[in-house]
């Protein structure tokens, strides 16, 4: 491959600017060059967070002797020669100035050899000035060592962060590359210690485990969907395994790590109602899209991708997630609870007083005594205002996905070989502790939380009561008086919304209404509570025609459900389960707690030491 010097106009079109800002930018450029060179083995070694030294070695094609010096000229690249190439660029690095920029601000050494050449070359440059250029014996490939970055630019040096901050950025970047290119063996070493190494066997899950090391990531489930030339694949967590932040969400578009509020939106819509408030899933999601339908990201530092059609991407991600979570494999398992306990050791360290939820599940050796028994953090109730803000934002980027699906035609779901969860496979047994209904199928034991299940059923009833035009109301023998702030007396709006939900209200005196009818499935006290909350929220200026707010209120009001310790009869159990089965989302209560948990036979046998693992 010959290296050409780019014509000035081409060079200028490329948003070159500040290529090298900090150690991580050096590592990024060098590793991308190594990838472009067809390497199957790349080792990155840093000391002092990359401020002292960065070394990247590869087994790629190498640089021919005649091209070695040229590679350090500004706008030297073997990868493009004219403007049109930019749009179709498949290689990662393309600005043709990384090597020259890095060389200009460091003490750089490059050793390289091509397959055909007998000897390799070594070149040393300090501040861009060539000190040495000589032949040297070395294997095929290229090694570049960058020492004392910005030694000649004190202004830049000042902006370097601490060693751990700089190395953190490098580790994050190389980690993302390593799981993007699962065909390449990556090794990352920091101050002599191996941070991770991958096998390069094209196994994404294996790569994720090697890089991120979290044992719990073994429990991630596949998520795949393809339609109309748009494809998504990757791994996500079961609803029972979540985090308090979004830091464990990794998105990639056409092999590049990206930030994307669009993918994030699709992901959270896919988990809607499946997660406890304030919890976020873990996700490694890769989107493949026609490069013409996405902004070719020329500027190196602008990571947020721009899709031509946000809605299409959101609905693809959402549907892929929903589909994955409906698989039998996605049912919350006891295993996740151990995992959760371990996670809480690291991530809740600073907050020992966090409320815990009823979760005393039998422990195993995995569940060491240090681990607090937290499954779900009792999420802060998010204020209605926050919800509204969120909703307004959603409105801008999103419309309901059903229409889109019609437009796009039937999704061809990629077969993952995993069965959907089916209630009909279950045999129900005794109820234990007057709370948990037991069930089994061939490979699992289940506990259904009767309260959570009932909440889910009530919730869906309410939602459909609200969305259906036909209302089933019950007339109250003793009407309830509801006090209303004077400002609301002449406002018909809120009365209209409540009427739509199956309430019937009449003006009564100066500042009150009489509640005559309530939705059929609500208890009287619950209905009274609901209407009072509703009026308060409305009075505070929260527009309640909004579905999210309604959801929120319903969740709050949804208290008529069987309490955990109410004894229920067999008939009631059967009715409960068959109603749960009919729910749109039978897996979690409206607050995001699981309605049932699976104990895999395999895990049970492990606890009894019948199997190794």
In the complex, the residues that contact Mg ion under the rule CB under 5 A are: 33, 93, 98
Q: Which does 63 bind (CB under 5 to 8 A by kind): Mg ion, ligand ADP, none?
A: ligand ADP
Token pair 């199997």 is found at 611
Shortest Cβ 210–ligand ADP spacing (Å): 23
Residue 331 contacts residue 420 (beta carbons within 8 Å): no
Q: Which is nearer to ligand ADP, 99 or 289 (CB)?
A: 99
Q: Which does 78 bind (CB under 5 to 8 A by kind): ligand ADP, Mg ion, none?
A: ligand ADP
273 CB-near residues (< 8 Å, 6+ apart): 585, 588, 590, 592
| Residue 34 binds to ligand ADP (criterion: CB under 6 A) | yes
Beta bridge partners of 598: 333, 446
| Residue 79 binds to ligand ADP (criterion: CB under 6 A) | yes
Q: How big is the chain, counted in residues? A: 613
Q: Which is nearer to ligand ADP, 77 or 242 (CB)?
A: 77
Residue 328 contacts residue 592 (beta carbons within 8 Å): no
Half-sphere exposure of 466 (CA within 13 A, CB side): 19
Interface stretch with ligand ADP, choices 55-63, 259-267, 424-432, 536-544 (CB under 6 A): 55-63
Shortest Cβ 64–ligand ADP spacing (Å): 9
Cα–Cα dist 337/330, whole Å? 14
| Residue 35 binds to ligand ADP (criterion: CB under 6 A) | no
Q: CA angle, corner 291, sides to 288 and 295, nearest 5?
A: 110
CB crowding 177-197: b at 16 or more within 10 Å, else e:
bbbbbbebbbbbbbeeeebbe
C-alpha distances out from residue 81 to 47, 73, 97, 525, Å: 36, 15, 14, 75
Shortest Cβ 178–ligand ADP spacing (Å): 17
C-alpha distances out from residue 436 to 171, 328, 374, 439, Å: 45, 20, 19, 10
396 CB-near residues (< 8 Å, 6+ apart): none
Q: Are strands 107-113 and 120-126 parallel, antiparallel or unpaired?
A: antiparallel
| Residue 253 binds to ligand ADP (criterion: CB under 6 A) | no
| Residue 77 binds to ligand ADP (criterion: CB under 6 A) | yes
Q: Which does 105 bind (CB under 5 to 8 A by kind): Mg ion, ligand ADP, none?
A: none
Q: Which does 573 bind (CB under 5 to 8 A by kind): ligand ADP, Mg ion, none?
A: none
| Residue 94 binds to ligand ADP (criterion: CB under 6 A) | yes
Q: Which is nearer to ligand ADP, 71 or 149 (CB)?
A: 71
Positions of E strands within 6-106:
41-47, 53-58, 76-77
Cα–Cα dist 213/179, whole Å? 12
Cα–Cα dist 264/258, whole Å? 11
List helix spans (H) across 355-422: 384-397, 401-408
Shortest Cβ 372–Mg ion spacing (Å): 47
Residues numbered 109-168 forming contacts with ligand ADP, rule: CB under 6 A: 142
Q: Which is nearer to ligand ADP, 119 or 472 (CB)?
A: 119
| Residue 33 binds to ligand ADP (criterion: CB under 6 A) | yes
Interface stretch with ligand ADP, choices 44-52, 91-99, 551-559, 604-612 (CB under 6 A): 91-99
| Residue 31 binds to ligand ADP (criterion: CB under 6 A) | no
| Residue 76 binds to ligand ADP (criterion: CB under 6 A) | yes
- Give all strands of the β-sheet with 444-449 in edge-to-edge order: 427-432, 436-440, 444-449, 596-600
Q: Which does 60 bind (CB under 5 to 8 A by kind): Mg ion, ligand ADP, none?
A: ligand ADP
Cα–Cα dist 37/76, whole Å? 15
Q: Which is nearer to ligand ADP, 81 or 363 (CB)?
A: 81
Shortest Cβ 204–ligand ADP spacing (Å): 25
Q: Which does 234 bind (CB under 5 to 8 A by kind): Mg ion, ligand ADP, none?
A: none
Considering only 28, 95, 279, 456, the residue that binds ligand ADP (CB under 6 A) is: 95
Per-residue tokens: 281:
């899933």
Q: Which does 589 bind (CB under 5 to 8 A by kind): Mg ion, ligand ADP, none?
A: none
Q: Which is nearer to ligand ADP, 85 or 572 (CB)?
A: 85
- Give all strands of the β-sheet with 512-519 in edge-to-edge order: 473-483, 512-519, 504-507
Q: Which is nearer to Mg ion, 254 or 473 (CB)?
A: 254
Q: What is the binding site for ligand ADP (CB under 6 A)? A: 3, 29, 33-34, 37, 58, 60-63, 71, 76-79, 93-99, 142
């Amino acid at each position: 491959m010959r290296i050409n010097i780019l014509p000035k106009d081409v060079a200028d079109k490329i948003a070159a600017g500040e290529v090298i800002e900090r150690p991580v930018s050096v590592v990024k450029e060098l590793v991308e060059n190594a990838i472009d060179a067809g390497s199957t083995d790349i080792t990155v070694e840093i000391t002092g967070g990359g401020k002292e030294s960065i070394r990247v070695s590869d087994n790629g094609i190498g640089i021919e002797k005649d091209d070695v010096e040229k590679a350090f000229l500004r706008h030297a690249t073997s990868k493009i020669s004219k403007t049109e190439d930019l749009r179709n660029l498949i290689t990662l690095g393309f600005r043709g100035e990384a090597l020259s920029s890095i060389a200009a601000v460091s003490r750089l050494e490059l050793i390289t050899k091509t397959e055909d050449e007998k000897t390799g070359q070594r070149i040393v440059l300090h501040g861009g000035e060539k000190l040495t250029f000589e032949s040297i014996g070395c294997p095929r490939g290229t090694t570049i060592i960058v020492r004392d970055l910005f030694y000649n630019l004190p202004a830049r040096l000042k902006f370097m962060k601490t060693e751990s901050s700089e190395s953190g950025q490098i580790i994050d970047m190389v980690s993302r590359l390593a799981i993007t290119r699962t065909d390449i063996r990556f090794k990352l070493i920091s101050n002599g210690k191996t941070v991770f190494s991958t096998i390069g066997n094209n196994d994404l899950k294996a790569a994720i485990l090697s890089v991120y090391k979290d044992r719990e990531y073994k429990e991630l489930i596949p998520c795949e969907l393809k339609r109309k030339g748009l494809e998504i694949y990757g791994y996500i967590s079961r609803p029972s395994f979540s985090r308090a932040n979004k830091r464990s969400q990794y998105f990639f578009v056409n092999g590049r790590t990206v930030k994307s509020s669009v993918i994030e939106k699709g992901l959270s819509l896919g988990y809607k109602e499946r997660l406890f408030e304030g919890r976020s899933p873990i996700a490694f999601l890769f989107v493949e899209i026609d490069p013409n339908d996405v902004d070719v990201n020329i500027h190196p530092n602008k990571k947020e991708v721009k899709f031509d059609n946000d809605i299409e991407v959101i609905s693809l991600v959402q549907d892929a997630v929903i589909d994955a979570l409906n698989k039998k494999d996605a049912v919350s398992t006891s295993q996740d609870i151990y995992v959760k306990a371990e996670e809480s050791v690291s991530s809740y360290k600073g907050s020992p007083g966090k409320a815990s939820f009823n979760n005393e599940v039998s422990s195993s050796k995995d569940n060491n005594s240090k681990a607090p028994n937290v499954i779900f953090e009792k999420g802060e109730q998010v204020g209605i205002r926050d919800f509204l803000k969120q909703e307004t934002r959603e409105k801008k980027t999103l419309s309901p996905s059903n229409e889109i699906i019609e437009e796009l035609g039937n999704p061809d779901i990629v077969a993952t070989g995993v069965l959907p969860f089916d209630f009909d496979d279950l045999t129900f047994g005794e109820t234990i502790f007057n709370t948990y209904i037991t069930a089994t199928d061939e490979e699992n034991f289940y506990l259904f939380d009767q309260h959570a299940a009932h909440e889910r059923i009530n919730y869906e009833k309410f939602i459909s009561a609200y969305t259906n035009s036909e209302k089933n109301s019950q007339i109250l023998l003793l009407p309830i008086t509801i006090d209303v702030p004077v400002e609301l007396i002449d406002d018909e709006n809120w009365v209209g919304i409540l009427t739509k939900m199956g309430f019937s209200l009449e003006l009564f005196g100066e500042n009150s209404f009489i509640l005559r009818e309530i939705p059929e499935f609500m208890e009287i006290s619950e209905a009274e509570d609901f209407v009072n909350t509703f009026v308060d929220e409305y009075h505070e200026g929260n527009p309640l025609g909004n579905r999210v707010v309604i959801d929120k209120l319903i969740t709050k009001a949804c208290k008529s459900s069987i309490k955990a310790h109410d004894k229920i009869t067999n008939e009631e159990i059967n009715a409960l389960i068959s109603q749960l089965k009919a729910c749109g989302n039978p897996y979690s209560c409206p607050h995001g707690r699981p309605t049932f948990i699976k104990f895999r036979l395999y895990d049970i046998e492990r606890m009894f030491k019948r199997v190794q693992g």
